[in-house]
Amino acid sequence: MPSPRAKAAAVIHRVLQGESLNQLLPHSFESLELGQRALCQELVYGTLREWPLYQATCQKFLRKALRRKDHDLLSLICVGLYELDNLRTPPHATISEAVNGARDLKKSWAAGMVNAVLRSYQREQAGLRETLTPAAQSALPDWLFEILTTEYGECFEQIAEAARGRPPLFLRVNQRHLSRAQYLQLLNEAGIAAAPAPLSPEAVLIEKPVDVSLLPGFDKGWVSVQDVSAQLVAGLLAAKPGERVLDACAAPGGKACHILEQQPALAELTAMDISEQRLQRVRENSERLGLAMTTVTADASKLQESIRGKQFDAILADVPCSATGVIRRNPDVKILRQLGDIASFGAQQLAILKGLWPALKPGGRLLYVTCSLLKAENDSIIAAFTNDKESIIHPLSLGQGRPTQFGWQTLPHPSGGDGLFFSLLEKPG
């Protein structure tokens, strides 16, 4: 049976080869004993959040670059660096386990090299980070560092710190069942430390993350896991009784369910996604919460007449993006995402907006949302769209973040919400 360090290195190696964590997890941990899975996940996520830093650190100690086929060893060394810096494992045990990990990877010839790099780091780490590039010190790829420092200036440090930390656990209380104050009391009785979170009246911050099975009433639909910034969506869309609402990129369904929780008197809520497999997650979430919605598999950029003809009062377009505002939840972004991807996302985002616009009735509103921090996916897309389609942009003012030319940007915070962009458009009547 492989050690959790070797398994973590193998998973990261596959990310380096182009696979995403969403594809790899949780099946990658099935070969491990139950007690080792949490450690392995911590090593994978923690190492990826710091990847640009530890990759640059390795290069300081390796005599020559490792061949591509040996990048599992690079991953193993970086896992060891993360464990030395962040976990309570005694240093000698961390190094010993990393050396054993080389053998687990069937590369016993590299055991001495792994040992030498980690011991050299132990001896020489004081002042080492100052010799690295500013991007590596911030644990960001060069291209993203350049954009974020240019676009965010004095806010950059907060963004970079959030991108390398564990995300807080926020809950959304279903107020169709009970109030936030009542749910906080239930958490207190269950011995789970929690506090009301700002921005959303339904939001609760769990001080120490726990398994959802331990949350009171989770199986009864009393509460859902949802980032506090994402909880702003339903209030911004402000669905009214009798309206028809389309969530155009709905999976996994958190925002669609929140809209129905806030406004159960809709004429219809249609949850749409291009992936039938992902749409199943929407159905599972709505069933747990006891919410009725229509689900349909379709491409938002190429809507069929049967959907366009419904003429919705409100449309939510939470579009695919670079995920640069939620890196701490998707740390493989630091490896997988490249500068050239941003233009591709932009073309897709603009196509979705143009594809959805005919389905919005005159006087209706469309809320454009990304989990990106990049102007190229946010204001620039709205600017390109409004140059082509007549629309009214509603000014937004939220409790956290800052205004942009065409909307509002929340900023990721180490102990707060994620980085999301919102723009509210109205179709002239």
Enumerate the active-site residues.
371
Produce one character per residue of 185-212: b if its CB has 16 or more CB atoms within 10 Å, e if not: ebbeeeebebeebebbebbbbbeeebee
| Helix (H/G/I), strand (E/B), else coil: 215 | coil
> Which H helix or E strand runs over 370?
strand 360-370
Residue 312 pairs in a beta bridge with: 360
> Please, how many CA atoms are within 13 Å of residue 46, restricted to the half-sphere of its CB?
19
Joined together, the tokens standing for residue 52 give 């640009």
Distance (Å) of CA 281 to CA 174, 271, 272, 299, 378 = 18, 11, 12, 17, 27
CB 332 within 8 A of CB 20: yes
Joined together, the tokens standing for residue 326 give 């939620």
Of the candidates 202, 200, 209, the one whose C-alpha atom is nearest the C-alpha of residue 182 is 202
What CA dihedral angle connects 118, 120, 121 and 126, to 10 degrees?
160
CA angle 180, 184, 190 (to 5 degrees): 145
Distance (Å) of CA 315 to CA 149, 170, 241, 243, 360 = 33, 25, 15, 11, 7
CB 342 within 8 A of CB 320: no
Residue for token pair 């809320």? 367
Of the candidates 400, 231, 419, the one whose C-alpha atom is nearest the C-alpha of residue 327 is 419
Beta 360-370 vs 312-318: how paired, if at all? parallel
CB 245 within 8 A of CB 307: no
Joined together, the tokens standing for residue 11 give 């998973």
Residue for token pair 């490792």? 66
